[in-house]
Copies of this chain bind each other. A is one copy, B any other.
Amino acid sequence: MMMDEDVEQASLMSFNDRPRAFPNMRSKTYSPLIFRIIRKLNVRVLSIILLFCFGAIFYMGASTSPIILFVFTVCIISFLLSIYLTKWVLAKDEGPPEMVEISDAIRDGAEGFFRTQYSTISKMAILLAFVILCIYLFRSLTPQQEAAGLGRAMSAYITVAAFLLGALCSGIAGYVGMWVSVRANVRVSSAARRSAREALQIAVRAGGFSALVVVGMAVIGIAILYSTFYVWLGVGSPGSMNVTDLPLLLVGYGFGASFVALFAQLGGGIYTKGADVGADLVGKVEQGIPEDDPRNPAVGDNVGDCAARGADLFESIAAEIISAMILGGTMAKKCKIEDPSGFILFPLVVHSFDLIISSIGILSIKGTRDASVKSPVEDPMAVLQKGYSLTIILAVITFGASTRWLLYTEQAPSAWFNFALCGLVGIITAYIFVWISKYYTDYKHEPVRTLALASSTGHGTNIIAGVSLGLESTALPVLTISVAIISAYWLGNTSGLVDENGIPTGGLFGTAVATMGMLSTAAYVLTMDMFGPIADNAGGIVEMSQQPESVREITDLLDAVGNTTKATTKGFAIGSAALASFLLFSAYMDEVSAFANVSFKEVDIAIPEVFVGGLLGAMLIFLFSAWACAAVGRTAQEVVNEVRRQFIERPGIMEYKEKPDYSRCVAIVASAALREMIKPGALAIASPIVVGLVFRILGYYTGQPLLGAKVVASMLMFATVCGILMALFLNTAGGAWDNAKKYIETGALGGKGSEAHKAAVTGDTVGDPFKDTAGPSIHVLIKMLATITLVMAPVFL
């Protein structure tokens, strides 16, 4: 809420001129009114309302735990910092009118699509909220909930409210990402006329703004929900709910976030890449005009990338925080730890520190050249890398401090140190993942060069080589994640925390801590991620406004760096998803145990039904990828036909005499994206529910208790494993194709216009839906499956 107001305030000047920004987002009827009211209020009244909100939040925080107070404080400081960053970015000049004109066109397209897309998503969210409400009104409660006097209706309202809040926050996260990037791109282009370093700094600070907002919102949203439930339900007082059971009430928030993220990623990916592939196929391959040429009627834009990445990382963080809280609570209960709040709130603190250290990392990137660097040309990647290294060093320190602060317990005095090591495992894993994806997608290394060489023998060998490269690139990450899971589990298990029978119980929480370690620099990574589409767009604006060669060189350099950071952050995202996967279905099993009141500890795939569940889960990933890729393919075909038509009907376009009809192409991709995102999205949501229900019924008739829950667990696990591999394959192959093309464009193997280049462009177009539609959608899918099973668990029993 508050966040949203900040955004409005910061953008008041340019925002008021364009009153089209997502009126449909909040809810169908009230939001425009709220909008109007807020705009009518004067600053003094607004400040009072804000202060009142702050007061209420801090009051609840103080009643819950001092840790929550700390979290609130950090989040609010980082929001203030993000306002400063926006103001700083917006204060930069927009450059000459021709740039502004193009930037406006991109903004119009992006905001228009965002509005229609999110109005569709919000309708679906409301529909789903009703379904959840109905299901929860007829389901059972956990014995703890019953004991705490939490009725069915109450639990239903809580879950639905959490779901809607999660969906809303995710929508805001997406909006913020889109909002800043369509404003920053033109400022980066303009700055590129002056200095590369200044352009870099603007892109980083713009990315940093949305990263801080996204991470901060995930943290503060959960913290608010937690403390609200804590105060409201009187947790901890005799006869009421136990604090260790509280995190289970938050699952709706995670599901809401991933629900919106899934459709945002799908729709955005199809929109951007449909336009992109179509434009490349006719423009580059058939007509031989360069990328982002103004003569091409189909110019891609970046709504998909920015909005979707924001929503994706938001739900990653939210889902992982919630499952780590559930596992922390379960473990604390089993070990009978006196004050369990440290274990439960640990993830929130880690991300609070994340906000602090990432801010330092972002601010460490200066607008003028580092005097100590001797080389005439500065590598922007090195600058970003330096900031990342700083952030990582700080992360190691703060993570160690957080474990000592929160995870110290007298029952196992050295446990905190083991968990600190788990965090280190996570941080190292993140680093290795980033390194591996760089190795496979950067043209400085062997794989992409081999791929480029394969282009010289034709389209066919290029595709075969790219597919092989992508498939092969799954091996090292899987080995890394295997070592990480086992060693974190082992560290946790040997931490000295034991249950009442003396059995070590810290293993799962160890993997949870490792995941937190991996995500402990999330805000900085998200900044680098957001940097990519902003730089890409800035390059497009420079190209289309026909700036001199020197300016293009700077934006090309930033664009190439953006490609690398995009690829590496995808590696990071899938790495954290992989590490979190084990955590997420452990949380699911804990939840099923709580609801069914029987121990649910095994998923035995030697039972045929459970095995079949696995088969279906793996199949789900294949089918989902198929539909996501096909959607882009179909959209691109429509675009190709439209562009061909325009070139034929308006022969003047090629000689710059006629202006192409851009809006027609935008309308085609927008409507196609909205149409095409439904099928894969619905598949992802419906299939775990259907499978769970079918096998629940089958289990009832064949006398196998918990069959539905077991089959869903196995489905989830196989889908996760397959999804990790498929996403790695799709992301890496796509990134490698893109960079193989870029490598040839540097003049290798015949350079631009050669046969090798044409083959490489084919690879690039194939890679587009792989790396920007299907691949990232699978990240979201994996976590959405986990959160939907968490929310729907009572249905499968």
Is A629 a contact of B467 with CB atoms below 8 Å?
yes
In the assembled complex, how far is the CB of residue A507 from the closest CB belonging to chain B, in whole angstroms? 7
Contacts of A235 in B (CB 8 A): none
Q: Given A482-B616, A602-B606, A762-B762 in contact, is the A636-B461 Cβ separation under 8 Å?
A: yes
**Is A29 in contact with chain B by the CB < 8 A criterion?**
no
A22 CB to nearest chain B CB (Å): 31
Contacts of A609 in B (CB 8 A): 486
Query: Are B766 and A608 within 8 A (Cβ)?
Result: no
Interface size on A (CB < 8 Å)?
81
Q: Could you tell me if A464 and B630 are in contact, using CB atoms closer than 8 angstroms?
A: yes
The minimal Cβ–Cβ distance linking A640 to chain B, given in whole angstroms, is 4
Q: In the complex, what residues of B have CB within 8 A of residue A725's CB? A: 618-619, 622, 722
Are B619 and A472 within 8 A (Cβ)? no
**B472 lies within 8 A of A627 (CB):** yes
**Which of A451-459, A565-573, A784-792 lies at the interface?**
A451-459
Q: Are B478 and A616 in contact (CB under 8 A)?
A: yes
A640→B464 CA distance, assembly (Å): 14
| A280 at interface, CB cutoff 8 A | yes
Is the pair A615, B460 in contact by a Cβ cutoff of 8 Å? Answer: no
The answer, yes or no, to whether A117 is at the interface (CB within 8 Å) is: no
Asked if A519 lies at the interface with its beta carbon under 8 angstroms from chain B, I say no
Across the interface, name the chain B residue whose C-beta is closest to A644: B457
The reply to whether the CB of A596 lies closer than 8 angstroms to some CB of chain B is no
Residue on B nearest A285 in the bound complex, by CB:
B458
A604 within 8 A of B: yes
- Binary B-proximity of A762-780 (CB < 8 A = 1, otherwise 0): 1001100100000000000
Q: Which of A405-413, A420-428, A713-721 contacts B (4 or more CB under 8 A)?
A: A713-721
The answer to whether A461 touches B633, judged by C-beta atoms less than 8 angstroms apart, is: yes
A176: Cβ under 8 A from any B Cβ: no
Evaluate contact between B622 and A471: CB separation under 8 angstroms: yes
Smallest Cβ distance from A96 to chain B, in angstroms? 35
Contacts of A702 in B (CB 8 A): 490
Q: Which B residue's beta carbon lies closest to that of A609?
A: B486
A645 to chain B, nearest CB (A): 12
- A280-319: contact bitstring with B at CB < 8 Å (1 yes, 0 no)? 1100011000000000000000000000000000000000
Query: How far, in whole Å, are A386 and B485 apart by their CA atoms in the complex?
Result: 55
Task: Let me know if A629 and B721 touch, CB within 8 A.
Answer: no
Task: Give the residue among A470, A605, A637 with the most B Cβ atoms within 10 A.
Answer: A605
Measured between C-beta atoms, what is the minimum distance from A720 to chain B in Å?
Answer: 9
Q: Which of A589, A623, A729 has the most CB of B within 10 A?
A: A623
Which among A475, A490, A714 has the greatest number of chain B C-beta atoms within 10 A? Answer: A475
A464 and B623 form a contact (CB under 8 A): no
- A637 engages B457 (CB within 8 Å): yes
> B629 contacts A606, CB within 8 Å?
no
Name the residue of chain B whose CB is nearest to the CB of A624: B471
B618 and A722 contact, CB distance less than 8 A: yes
Question: Hey, which chain B residues are within 8 Å of A454, CB to CB?
Answer: 633, 637
* B507 contacts A608, C-beta separation under 8 Å: yes
Among A609, A612, A717, chain B packs the most CB atoms within 10 A around the CB of A612
Indicate if the CB atoms of A471 and B626 lie closer than 8 Å. yes
- Complex CA gap A453/B702 in Å reads 48
Partner of A614, one of B458, B472, B632, B717: B717
- Docked Cα-Cα span, A277 to B462, in Å, equals 12
Identity of the chain B residue whose Cβ is nearest the Cβ of A281 in the assembled complex? B458
Q: In the assembled complex, how far is the CB of residue A642 from the closest CB belonging to chain B, in whole angstroms?
A: 11
Q: Mark A494-514, 1 if CB is under 8 A from B, else 0.
A: 000000000000010001000
Q: Which residue of B lies closest to A643 (CB)?
A: B457
Q: Cβ of B481 and Cβ of A615 under 8 Å apart?
A: yes
A755 vs chain B, min Cβ distance (A)? 9
The CA-CA distance from A481 to B729 in the complex, in Å, is 26
Output the least CB separation between A723 and chain B (Å).
10
Pair A615/B468 contact, Cβ less than 8 Å: no
Q: Are A460 and B582 in contact (CB under 8 A)?
A: no
Residue of A479, A482, A606, A629 with highest tally of chain B CB at under 10 A: A606
Complex Cα distance A589/B605, Å? 12
Q: In the complex, are the beta carbons of A460 and B619 less than 8 A apart? A: no
Question: Is A465 located at the chain interface by the 8 A CB criterion?
Answer: yes
A554 within 8 A of B: no
Q: How far is the CA of A511 from the CA of B641 in the complex (A)?
A: 51
Chain A positions near chain B (C-beta within 8 angstroms): 277, 280-281, 285-286, 453-454, 457-461, 463-465, 467-472, 474-475, 478-479, 481-482, 485-486, 489-490, 507, 511, 582, 585-586, 589, 601-606, 608-609, 611-612, 614-616, 618-619, 622-623, 625-627, 629-630, 632-633, 636-637, 640-641, 698, 702, 713-714, 717-718, 721-722, 724-725, 729, 761-762, 765-766, 769
A selection of 8 A-B contacts at a CB cut-off of 8 Å is A285-B460, A459-B459, A468-B626, A471-B622, A474-B623, A486-B612, A721-B722, A762-B762
